[in-house]
Amino acid sequence: MSEGYERGAVVKGPYLLADYDYCPYICWSDDSHPFHNEKVLYAAIEVERKRVLRDNGLVGS
């Protein structure tokens, strides 16, 4: 992830808490915060991956 996103933007980044390839993060920073041109703050959005029941059976893992 890099700078350049507006506050509230949801971006895809590495999932550091489990064995998934990625997870969504929300950008909390904007230019009113100290060091806005050097640091940014993102919060991971925890998601639970579930199986989805469809007409022809289970889909997903």
Residues 21, 60, 46, 43, CA torsion sign = positive
**pTM beyond cutoff 0.85:** no
Give the model's pLDDT for residue 10.
93
Give the model's pLDDT for residue 18.
75
For residue 32, pLDDT over 90 is answered with: no
Question: What are the counts of helices (DSSP H) followed by strands (DSSP E) for the chain?
Answer: 0, 5
